[in-house]
């Protein structure tokens, strides 16, 4: 009986350690492999176009932050634009994977241009009110781009 306990104890320890190792490897494999649906969206031309714009803006922001503080107007503008870009990226990621074929380069360019126009409106509103003709015209441009984006999505 004593010999059986001596043999069973190491076998049980070995079994549980192998089980734990297998569980860990399964979890790691699950984390590393993104779902195919999300991968299809992230590899779309529209997502790539928006990611390119975000990368350019983040790089520009990093350059400015070497010499300027967060209160510098261009830094504030870039932060605002990056937030808008993130919203558009989330919008693309929310698209049904079955509709991933709609995520064309043209859609990405429309979204990038809309973000630029929204940033222009934000800058205009720092100087003028909503009643100003330049503000109204800029807002109308944003609406036109948003309508085109909605038509595609």
In a 13 Å sphere around the CA of 93, the CA atoms on its Cβ side amount to: 12
Residue 49: how many other CB atoms lie within 10 Å: 22
Torsion angle of alpha carbons 119, 125, 127, 131, nearest 10°? 140
Report pLDDT digits (tens) over 109-138.
999 999 999 999 999 999 999 999 999 999
Instruction: Answer whether residue 14 shows pLDDT above 90.
Output: no
Report pLDDT digits (tens) over 56-95.
999 999 999 999 999 999 999 999 999 999 999 999 999 9
Residue 113 CA from chain centroid, whole number: 17
Name the helix (H) or strand (E) containing 39. Answer: helix 36-42
Question: Rounded to two decimals, what is the model's pTM?
Answer: 0.73
pLDDT the model gives residue 35: 59
Residue 98 pLDDT grade (very low, low, confident, very high; cuts 50, 70, 90): confident
Report the mean per-residue pLDDT for the chain. Answer: 86
- Mean predicted confidence (pLDDT) in 39-55: 93
Report pLDDT digits (tens) over 27-44.
555 555 555 667 888 999
85 CB-near residues (< 8 Å, 6+ apart) = 50, 53, 54, 57, 112, 115
């Amino acid at each position: 009986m004593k010999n059986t306990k001596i043999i069973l104890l190491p076998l049980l320890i070995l079994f549980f350690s192998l089980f734990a190792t297998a569980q860990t490897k399964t979890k790691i494999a699950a984390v590393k492999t993104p779902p195919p649906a999300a991968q299809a969206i992230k590899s779309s031309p529209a997502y790539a176009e928006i990611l390119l714009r975000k990368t350019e803006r983040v790089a520009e922001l990093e350059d400015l932050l070497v010499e300027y503080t967060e209160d510098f107007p261009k830094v504030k503008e870039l932060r605002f634009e990056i937030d808008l870009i993130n919203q558009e990226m989330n919008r693309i990621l929310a698209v049904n994977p079955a509709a991933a074929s709609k995520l064309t380069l043209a859609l990405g360019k429309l979204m990038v241009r809309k973000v630029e126009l929204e940033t222009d409106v934000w800058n205009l509103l720092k100087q003028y009110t909503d009643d100003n003709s330049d503000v109204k015209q800029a807002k109308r441009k944003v609406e036109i781009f948003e309508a085109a984006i909605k038509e595609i999505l």
